[in-house]
């Protein structure tokens, strides 16, 4: 028996990294998971890992920023598993630059993936969650559903060179607090987890200034200078970066029944670093 038995979860950006760890964690506790990723092989690999461990999952391939994606994502959960109980808005990436060098495209791309896409997914899922809540209320039953939006300490305190990312993540905090008020009548808890430095391909130490990933045809620089990373770890009270599994644990906390009276909050998962 898992704490999430019978729950149906959407996890965007779960083909790899933190998103995959979240999907595996929720599935390991009994949730049926709709996995999402840009890379079909990565997304299907997450599905295979879930199924090989005795869980159930299905993949929806595509970018969260595509027109119609949100509706397709939600409808897949309804058609395959019968509804939606948990939404984790995790998909995203960075595209850094100081403000005087940042293009409109850089600004728009990051705002789209980190703020507009979660807005669209949550707008699409509202009729599903509200309808179920009304049916349950008529029967005298109270069922809590969960939304966990993934943010960053950059959205809490800012970070030089990331004005687009910081603005998007700060906006996500406002979205979270507003929906916590709007959706309280549906017994939907809406919270945010703001990650500090977690070990992923975006934060891997590298001296290669040309290290990039391809996102929708754009080459985006990733990685952190090793010297900076060594200094940074001294600023983290726990003395190290977090693992994707530890990051997933913070999200899981806000998906369990133990968090039924927590809503509209931002939980920082950063080893004490703010």
Catalytic annotation, residues: 165
DSSP codes of every residue in 150-197: EEEHHHHH--TTBHHHHHHHHHHHHHHHHHHHHSGGGTEEEEEEEE-S
Name the burial class of residue 144, with classes exposed (0-12), middle (13-18) and buried (19+) by CB atoms within 10 angstroms of its CB: middle
Name the burial class of residue 1, with classes exposed (0-12), middle (13-18) and buried (19+) by CB atoms within 10 angstroms of its CB: exposed
Tokens of 225: 């200078």
Q: Which residues of 57-81 are buried (b: 16+ CB within 10 A; e: fewer)?
A: bbbbbbbbbeeebbeebbebbeeeb
Tokens of 103: 């293009």
**Rg, C-alpha atoms of the chain:** 18
CA dist 27 and 22 (Å) reads 8
CA dist 213 and 44 (Å) reads 20
Tokens of 181: 């008020």
Show Cβ contacts of residue 121 under 8 Å, excluding neighbours closer than 6 positions: 10, 12, 64, 70, 73, 74, 87, 89
């Amino acid at each position: 028996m898992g704490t999430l038995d019978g729950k149906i979860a959407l996890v965007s950006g779960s083909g790899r990294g933190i998103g995959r760890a979240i999907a595996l964690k929720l599935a390991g506790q009994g949730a049926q998971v709709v996995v999402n990723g840009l890379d079909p092989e990565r997304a299907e690999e997450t599905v295979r890992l879930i199924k090989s461990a005795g869980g159930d999952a299905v993949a929806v391939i595509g970018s969260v920023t595509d027109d119609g994606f949100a509706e397709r994502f939600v409808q897949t959960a309804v058609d395959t598993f019968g509804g939606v109980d948990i939404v984790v808005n995790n998909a995203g990436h960075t595209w850094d630059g100081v403000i005087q060098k940042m293009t409109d495209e850089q600004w728009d791309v990051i705002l789209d993936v980190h703020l507009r896409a979660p807005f669209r997914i949550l707008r699409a899922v509202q009729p599903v969650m509200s309808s179920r809540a009304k049916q349950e209320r008529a029967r005298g039953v109270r069922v809590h559903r969960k939304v966990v939006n993934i943010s960053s300490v950059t959205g809490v305190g800012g970070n030089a060179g990331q004005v687009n990312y910081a603005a998007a993540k700060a906006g996500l905090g406002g979205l979270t607090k507003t929906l916590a008020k709007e959706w309280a009548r549906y017994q939907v808890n809406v919270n945010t987890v703001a990650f500090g430095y977690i070990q992923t391909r975006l934060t891997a130490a590298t001296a290669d200034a040309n290290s990039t990933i391809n996102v929708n045809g754009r080459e985006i620089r990733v990685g952190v200078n090793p010297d900076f990373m060594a200094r940074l770890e001294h600023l983290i009270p726990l003395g190290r970066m977090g693992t994707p599994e530890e990051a997933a644990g913070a999200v899981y906390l806000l998906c369990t029944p133990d968090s039924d009276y927590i809503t509209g909050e931002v939980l920082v998962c950063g080893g004490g670093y703010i």
